[in-house]
Structure 1
Amino acid sequence: MTTGFAVAAALASACCFAAAAVMQQSAAASVPESDSLRPRLILDLLRRPLWLAGIGMSFFSYVIQGVALAFGPLVLVLPLAALDLVFALPMVALRRRRRLTAAEITGAACTSGGVAAFLAALPPPAGIVAPSVGDWLPLLAVAAGCVCVLVPVGRRRPGRSRTALYAAAAGVMFALLDSLTKSTAGLFRENGVGTLAHWEPYALLLVGGTGMLLAQSSFQAGSLTVSLPIIDTLEPIGGVLMGAVVFQERLATSWALAVQGLGALAAVAGIVILGRSPWVYGRM
């Protein structure tokens, strides 16, 4: 029952995040490029009702995903969260009163089928609830190093390259955010308000704020056709790796590992195809 509940919550979170991302990108694209990576970007966006609605929806999706992570492992929840783009395109198509193209249907099928294959080969859930600080330190160092490299390079690059680099940094932060959410949710189930005596909730706020700023900067720098596929690819891949390394969650072995690998490749290919849809670009 807990696994089924985690699956349902993860799918609901993906659907909500899809709507949130489209609204946020539509609002962020109208902000001057000079605001990128500055707190003023968030201040400008706070005056835009569409962006506020997107943030509200994004927060709601994050809460639902937190519930999913409280009942299921990262290696189960995050591949399902990668389906947000599958939900996003039909929303845009319905709003614009157009039909999905054959390529978009193919992309959705590849993503959905790839995620299904990955999860079908997944062994029974296992792992630890809250890793020690020593387990976290190497992960935190790697994530911080990635951001410290990607962001300065992105600032010196124009157009699509900047969008891609900011999105990659956001994807790394969101993967770390998911891992911290998993740990915080597990602590809350065991300790209740005593969780506030641990460091994870406060790191959650810092990482979440950093990830949001990076994501908004990538949305502002270019279209979702560049940023969202990168975030949707790096977040679940990074989260699954963090789950295996830090939380000791099990991945498949032997032939089942090959099935998971092929499923992951199919899902990534589908995300790339969906991300190239012109309907993702521009205002809703």
Structure 2
Amino acid sequence: MNILVAVSSALMAALCFGLGSVLQHEAARRAPPQKALRLRLLFDLVRRPMWLVGTVLSISSFAFLALALAFGPLVLVLPLAATDLVFALPLLALRRGERLSRSEVTGIVCTAGGVAVFLVALPPSPSGTSVPAVREWALVLVVVIGVVVSLAAVGASRPGTVRTASYAVCAAAMLALLDALTRSTADRVRTDGFGALFHWELYALMAVGVTALVLSQSAFQAGSLAVSLPIIDTLEPICAVAIGVAVFDEQLAVTVWALAVQMAGAAVAVIGVVLLGRSPLATD
């Protein structure tokens, strides 16, 4: 029953996030470039109806993701949540009265098939630590903060594709950290109830969430969605799975051959995400 809730909620999160990202990108591209990496960007975007609709979908995505992580591990939930464009592109094509191209169909098959192979190779009952101690987070926090500070500086000094890609990597890293904190907070709520208010995870979750939102909107504003969305969609689940293994003691495949199959599935899924992210349906 837990796995069923986790899988269905993760897929709903993917659907909501895919549509929300496309709408947020369209609105963010119209915002003044000097507002990037500043809260003023959000104050500008909140006055745009299209961005608000996209944000409601993104919030819904986060709610579904939180539900999925309350019942399943990061190594199961995040690969499923990364299939957002598998759902978004067919709906966009239907809305515009267009047919999916061969490249788009290939992307959908690669993404769905690669994720399926990755998940099939997981242990039947992934184990892990529900609520890690603060010391378990130390290295992850240092690495993520270091990457974000360094690449944000690179993006601020280099316009064009470099800026878009740098901000997108920052956003992916923060979103992966947000996913991990969401799982930890959900477990706190399940075990401690209102006692979760007295633990650091909830407040770190809020701070990381705002930072991730600013970074993702800055990436959307800086350039084409064909650059930013594939980076976010591929790096977020990869980083989240790595955090799940490092912090929560979650397991990947337990044999060398199963791990090889799992990595091959992940590689095919990444190729599919890149193909989908470059679709004119997402970038126009």
Residue of structure 1 in register with 2:262 after alignment = 260
> Residues of 1 paired with 2:208 and 2:94: CA distance?
34
> Residues of 2 paired with 1:142 and 1:91: CA distance?
37
Work out whether 1:103 is the aligned partner of 2:93: no
> Residues of 2 paired with 1:26 and 1:229: CA distance?
16
Residue of structure 2 in register with 1:35 after alignment = 35
Code of the residue aligned with 2:178 in structure 1: it is L
Per the TM alignment, residue 85 of structure 1 is displaced from its structure 2 partner at its CA by: 1.4
Matched residue SS, 1:54: helix
> Residues of 2 paired with 1:201 and 1:63: CA distance?
15
Work out whether 1:66 is the aligned partner of 2:66: yes
Per the TM alignment, residue 280 of structure 1 is displaced from its structure 2 partner at its CA by: 1.1
Question: Are 1:113 and 1:263, in contact at CA under 8 Å, matched by a contact in 2?
Answer: yes
Code of the residue aligned with 1:250 in structure 2: it is Q
Alignment of 1:10-21 (within 5 A): 10-21=10-21
> Residues of 2 paired with 1:10 and 1:41: CA distance?
29
Code of the residue aligned with 1:10 in structure 2: it is A
Question: What residue ranges of structure 1 are gaps of 5+ in the alignment?
Answer: none
Code of the residue aligned with 2:163 in structure 1: it is R
Question: Are 1:223 and 1:280, in contact at CA under 8 Å, matched by a contact in 2?
Answer: no
Residue of structure 2 in register with 1:158 after alignment = 159
> Residues of 2 paired with 1:96 and 1:157: CA distance?
35
Matched residue SS, 1:30: coil
Question: Are 1:83 and 1:111, in contact at CA under 8 Å, matched by a contact in 2?
Answer: yes
Residue of structure 2 in register with 1:179 after alignment = 180
Matched residue SS, 2:170: helix
Code of the residue aligned with 1:87 in structure 2: it is F
TM-score w.r.t. the length of structure 1 is 0.98
Residue of structure 2 in register with 1:198 after alignment = 199
Alignment of 1:50-65 (within 5 A): 50-65=50-65
Per the TM alignment, residue 188 of structure 1 is displaced from its structure 2 partner at its CA by: 0.6
Residue of structure 2 in register with 1:119 after alignment = 119
Per the TM alignment, residue 13 of structure 1 is displaced from its structure 2 partner at its CA by: 0.7
Residue of structure 2 in register with 1:2 after alignment = 2
Identity of aligned residues (%): 56
> Residues of 1 paired with 2:79 and 2:205: CA distance?
21
4+ long deviations beyond 2 Å: none
Per the TM alignment, residue 91 of structure 1 is displaced from its structure 2 partner at its CA by: 2.3
Per the TM alignment, residue 96 of structure 1 is displaced from its structure 2 partner at its CA by: 1.6
Code of the residue aligned with 2:107 in structure 1: it is G
Residue of structure 2 in register with 1:281 after alignment = 283
Q: How many residues are matched?
A: 282
Show CA shifts across 1:199-236 (max 9, x none): 00000000010000000000011121110100001100
Moved more, 171-180 or 50-59: 50-59
RMSD of Structure 2 on Structure 1 (CA): 0.8
Show CA shifts across 1:105-141 (max 9, x none): 0011000000000000000220010000000011100
> Residues of 1 paired with 2:250 and 2:274: CA distance?
27
Code of the residue aligned with 2:54 in structure 1: it is G
> Residues of 2 paired with 1:85 and 1:234: CA distance?
15
Code of the residue aligned with 1:262 in structure 2: it is A
Code of the residue aligned with 2:249 in structure 1: it is Q
> Residues of 2 paired with 1:191 and 1:67: CA distance?
17
Matched residue SS, 2:248: coil
Question: What residue ranges of structure 2 are gaps of 5+ in the alignment?
Answer: none
